[in-house]
């Protein structure tokens, strides 16, 4: 196919006219589809329905510690759940704390605690003139929302195919004591599906932070969320790597079962060094008497062990793989060679990241919306919602049915083409 930029004005106008007719057909068909968030589909939720029967009125509800899970007690998680999630997070059981249903909540509280009480004895951030976080971009909007909420200055770090630009990360972390953290989704990243390379993780582990209270906020949200059995990404385990490099306290690892069991009723976990966990417990025992242990027991008994969880994830993959394939196939066949967009085929996670021509993302998303397709706001994948190139669009293929998705992608591609043609036409006038 010829790149659009190499077509004449007349050729472009002719293509545009055909696309506009197609667009109008979509618009009049009255599609109404929300593809804005990374939500599991109903079919995926149904995979975990057995969990609703694991505990019933005939169940023994006493956990391994001998505590009745219905009652108060056990601040930081029951033993059987710790074992399961420790295996999932590739750390020892005594390096994790279990929380409620939302790892976002755990990350928020981690930053909030640092604001009011500092990190392992450091000055509370609210007493400092300036606190900064590094934000690999494109990234997860809800991470950026937390740091924005607390008035933390965010610095964009471009992503490479191997993870964040580590030259920049080292430059900032090792020299600026105001840099207190970096948001990372290290595996099947949100939205690009990139897994940090061994070298990237090693360079993280070898950082020499100017700030003693610098931490890596390692949100391994998609750690076992592979799409293919035969091609999977591997991520170096950072907790051990940091320890080996003499930085045992430098990382907080976060994870949850939101996209394993139920998004609304899962379990979230933090993994960190004992000193970090003790620091967290100091707050935790003031904040709560304990999180929902019945739900911990429910998860532990349902999955039994990490193998049960891995098998379960294969069933998820079977449902979402065709959806990713449908999007990628359509992008390949419709856009390859046109030079109006690029994308990465991920091996796991929940998103496909699309980079439109500079200055086109907002217009594409608006055009899709006008015809009934809600996508993640353009810009959302950048701090402050500002994509400096107005280029990145996050595609979330999991929630719609395969048929809906195919229609949605058709519409999306029409929008990409239309907006790109207008952009190119500007330069030809």
Q: Going by C-beta distance under 8 Å and a sequence separation of 6 or more, which residues neighbour residue 14?
A: none
* Residue (293 or 347) nearer to its own copies, CB: 293
* 304 CA to centre of own chain: 26
Q: x/- contact string, 123-152, with its own copies (CB under 8 A)?
A: -x-xx--------------x--xx--xx--
Strands (E) in 26-176, as ranges, are: 33-35, 96-98, 132-137, 153-160, 163-164
Rounded CA separation 246/248 (Å): 6
CB of 271 to its own copies, least distance (A): 20
Residue 407 binds its own copies (CB under 8 A)? no
**Taking the complex as a whole, how short is the minimal distance between the CB of residue 206 and its own copies, in angstroms?**
32
CB of 124 to its own copies, least distance (A): 7
- Cβ-Cβ contacts under 8 Å for 186 (sequence gap 6 or more): 163, 195, 196, 201, 218, 219, 220, 235, 238
CB contact set of 411 (below 8 Å; sequence gap of 6+): 23, 26, 31, 368, 371, 373
115 contacts its own copies (rule: CB under 8 A): yes
Q: How far apart are CA 127 and CA 129, in angstroms?
A: 7
Q: What is the per-residue binding string for its own copies in 216-255, x denoting contact by CB under 8 A?
A: ----------------------------------------
- Round the CA-based radius of gyration of the chain to a whole number and report it: 23
Site for its own copies in 69-108 (CB under 8 A): 69-73, 100-102, 104-105, 108
Q: How far apart are CA 406 and CA 404, in angstroms?
A: 5
In the set 262, 302, 351, 354, which binds its own copies (CB under 8 A)? 262
278 binds its own copies (CB under 8 A): no
**Interface with its own copies includes 36 (CB under 8 A)?**
no
Residue ranges in 373-402 that form contacts with its own copies under rule CB under 8 A: none
Q: Which of 257, 301, 267 is nearest to 44 (CA)?
A: 257
Secondary structure class of 270 (helix, strand, coil): strand
Q: 3-state class of 253 per DSSP? A: strand
CB of 116 to its own copies, least distance (A): 5
Rule CB under 8 A: is residue 289 a binding residue for its own copies? Answer: yes
Report how far residue 109's alpha carbon sits from residue 284's, in angstroms, rounded to the nearest whole number. Answer: 10
Binding its own copies (rule: CB under 8 A), the pick from 14, 287, 305, 333 is: 287
Question: Should residue 109 be labelled a site residue for its own copies when binding is judged by CB under 8 A?
Answer: yes
- The distance of closest approach from Cβ of residue 147 to its own copies in the complex, given in angstroms and rounded to an integer, is 10
Using the rule CB under 8 A, is 292 a contact of its own copies?
yes
* Residues lying near its own copies in the complex (CB under 8 A): 37, 39-40, 42, 45, 48-50, 52-53, 55-57, 59, 68-73, 100-102, 104-105, 108-109, 112, 115-117, 124, 126-127, 142, 145-146, 149-150, 258, 262-265, 283, 286-295
């Amino acid at each position: 196919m010829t790149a659009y930029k190499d077509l004449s004005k007349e050729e472009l106008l002719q293509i545009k006219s055909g696309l506009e007719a197609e667009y109008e057909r979509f618009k009049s068909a009255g599609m109404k589809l929300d593809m804005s968030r990374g939500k599991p589909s109903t079919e995926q939720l149904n995979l975990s329905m057995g969990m609703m029967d694991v505990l019933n009125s005939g169940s023994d509800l006493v956990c391994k510690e001998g505590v009745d899970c219905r009652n108060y007690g056990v601040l930081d998680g029951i033993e059987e759940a710790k074992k399961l999630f420790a295996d999932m997070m590739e750390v020892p059981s005594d390096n994790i704390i279990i929380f409620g249903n939302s790892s976002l909540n755990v990350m928020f509280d981690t930053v909030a605690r640092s604001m009011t009480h500092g990190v392992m004895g450091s000055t509370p951030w609210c007493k400092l003139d300036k606190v900064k976080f590094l934000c690999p971009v494109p990234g997860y909007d809800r991470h950026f929302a937390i740091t924005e909420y607390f008035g933390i200055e965010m610095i964009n770090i471009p992503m490479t195919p191997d993870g964040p630009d580590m030259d920049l990360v080292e430059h900032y972390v090792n020299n600026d004591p105001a840099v207190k953290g970096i948001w990372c989704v290290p595996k099947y990243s949100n939205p690009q599906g990139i897994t940090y390379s061994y070298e990237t993780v090693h360079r993280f582990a070898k950082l020499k932070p100017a700030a003693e209270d610098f931490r890596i906020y390692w949100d391994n949200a998609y750690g076992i969320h592979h799409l293919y059995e035969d091609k999977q990404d591997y991520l170096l385990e950072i907790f051990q790597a940091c320890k080996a490099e003499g930085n045992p306290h430098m990382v907080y690892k976060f994870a949850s079962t939101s996209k394993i069991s139920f998004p609304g009723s899962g379990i979230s976990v933090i993994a960190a060094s004992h000193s970090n966990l003790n620091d967290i417990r100091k707050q935790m025992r003031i904040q709560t008497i304990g999180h929902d242990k019945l739900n911990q027991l429910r998860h532990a008994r349902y999955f039994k062990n990490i193998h049960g969880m891995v098998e379960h994830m294969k069933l998820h993959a079977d449902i979402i793989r065709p959806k990713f394939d449908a999007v990628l196939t359509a992008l390949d066949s419709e856009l390859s060679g046109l030079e109006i967009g690029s994308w990465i085929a991920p091996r796991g996670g929940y998103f496909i990241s699309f980079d439109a021509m500079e200055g086109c993302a907002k217009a594409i998303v608006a055009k899709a919306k006008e015809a009934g397709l809600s996508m993640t706001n353009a810009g959302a994948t950048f701090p402050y919602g500002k994509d400096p190139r107005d280029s990145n669009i996050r595609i979330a293929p999991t929630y719609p049915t395969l048929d809906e998705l195919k229609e949605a992608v058709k519409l999306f591609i029409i929008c990409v083409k239309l907006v790109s043609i207008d952009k190119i036409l500007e330069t030809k006038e």
